[in-house]
């Protein structure tokens, strides 16, 4: 049986199959991924109204691809207080945000309490808002710095009001690539173990992959298949997010960057390979809004959200620093031929007045 027939029949693909998918022409690959996407979701494109909050850029670790950390090229250090984090969340909620996405650098001065107090103050001020916070890399940093087990850190997160985890820190799972990119940071096995433990607590998380730098296609496929194996075990991932590497203001010194076709192929292959992860997100802050919209025809069904303010991708050159207003977001999705569906953080569809007005 040839590869295309295996995909159409829904057969589970191997590492070799995944690598061979890259050899298909773009339109064939897009048609295969789009058929899976439309079978699951029709023309729906999901988004949420969210606010990204990055409470500090002071980081104890040094990753070659990072342009955000103040310990590297950025001389402008800042660290918010937990009260300041909560105040930003309250203001965003007043403008309609239903989720706050809180991701920090690895703050070497605040201790565990700085992180947990921020979550607790947001929760106290906004009992109804969804708190997505703490990458596996942050969990690992707190664990190894303060002598806590992963279980203890995760339990503290839940006690402090965290609802779900983002997928950051995954980068590329291949150990040799990882050693070059982010030596000393959470390992691939540790990242997987942390998410496994989070899922065992009945909680959901996202999964990511940073691509377009020094990794090979084989590394990307391997990364996806490791996620697929964990999802078989726990079922706790609600979305996979292929993050496009941003090239400015970092120390990776990449000279050859993926073309738009290569990026779209990677989106499509992720939809085909990850048969057990419900959603594939084209995160517009790293892919650009235009490519994220095109990606909705190459297997993706989500674009993240309005964001309001974004610091990590934009520090490396992405045009996402000020987010996007909801009306523009909805209009772009509709103009691309898709049905905009506002969702909550766990992909439950929301049918509020705005949704009805814009979809009559």
**Which residues, including other chains, have CB under 8 Å from residue 54's CB and lie 6 or more apart?**
68, 102, 103, 104, 105, 311, 312
Alpha helix (H) ranges present in the chain?
3-8, 15-21, 26-41, 82-94, 111-125, 136-146, 150-159, 175-182, 188-200, 217-234, 260-273, 284-287, 289-294, 312-315, 326-335, 353-358
pLDDT in tens, 252-307: 666 678 899 999 999 999 999 999 999 999 998 888 889 999 999 999 999 988 76
Element holding 239 (H helix, E strand) = strand 237-244
Record the tokens describing residue 215, joined without a space. Answer: 């990794």
Instruction: Let me know: does 321 contact 315? Beta carbons within 8 Å.
Output: no
Structure confidence at residue 356 (pLDDT): 45
Run of H or E including 237: strand 237-244
The pLDDT > 90 percentage for the chain reads 68
Give the contacts of 176 (CB within 8 A, at least 6 positions apart). none
Of 88, 73, 75, 134, the closest CA to residue 107 belongs to: 134
Does 96 or 222 have the greater pLDDT score? 222
Average pLDDT over residues 141-169: 96
| Domains of the chain as residue ranges with CATH | 12-358 (3.20.20.70)
pTM (whole model) above 0.85: yes
Phi, psi of 350 (to 5 degrees): -105, 130
Please name the residues in contact with 279: beta carbons below 8 A apart, sequence gap of 6 or more.
Answer: 46, 238, 239, 240, 301, 302, 347
């Amino acid at each position: 049986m040839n590869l295309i027939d295996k995909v159409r029949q829904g057969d589970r693909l191997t590492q070799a199959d995944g690598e061979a998918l890259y050899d298909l022409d773009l339109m064939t690959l897009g048609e295969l991924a789009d058929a899976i996407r439309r079978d699951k979701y029709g023309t729906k494109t999901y988004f949420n109204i969210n606010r990204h909050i990055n409470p500090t850029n002071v980081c104890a670790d040094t990753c070659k691809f990072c342009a955000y950390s103040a310990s590297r090229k950025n001389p402008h250090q800042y660290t918010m207080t937990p009260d300041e984090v909560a105040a930003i969340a309250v203001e965003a909620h007043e403008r309609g945000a239903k989720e706050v996405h809180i991701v920090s650098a690895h703050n070497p001065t605040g201790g565990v309490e700085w992180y947990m107090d921020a979550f607790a103050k947001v929760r106290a001020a906004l009992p109804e808002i969804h708190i997505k916070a703490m990458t596996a890399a942050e969990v690992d940093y707190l664990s190894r710095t303060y002598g806590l087990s992963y279980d203890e850190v995760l339990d503290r997160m839940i006690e402090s009001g965290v609802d779900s985890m983002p997928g950051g820190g995954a980068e590329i799972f291949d150990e040799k690539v990882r050693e070059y990119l982010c030596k000393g940071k959470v390992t691939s096995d540790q990242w997987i173990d942390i998410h496994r433990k989070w899922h065992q607590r009945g909680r959901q998380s996202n999964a990511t992959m940073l691509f377009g730098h020094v990794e090979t296609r084989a590394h990307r496929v391997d990364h996806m298949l490791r996620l697929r194996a964990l999802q078989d075990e726990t079922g706790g991932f609600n979305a996979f997010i292929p993050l496009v590497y941003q090239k400015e203001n970092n120390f990776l010194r990449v000279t050859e960057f993926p073309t738009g076709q290569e990026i779209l192929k990677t989106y499509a292959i992720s939809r085909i390979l990850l048969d057990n992860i419900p959603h594939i997100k084209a995160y517009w802050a790293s892919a650009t809004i235009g490519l994220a919209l095109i990606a909705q025809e190459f297997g993706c069904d989500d674009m993240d959200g309005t964001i309001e303010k974004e610091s990590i991708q934009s520090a490396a050159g992405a045009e996402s620093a000020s987010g996007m207003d909801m009306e523009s977001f909805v209009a772009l999705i509709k103009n691309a031929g898709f049905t905009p569906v506002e969702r909550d953080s766990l992909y439950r569809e929301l049918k509020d007045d705005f949704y009805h007005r814009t979809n009559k």
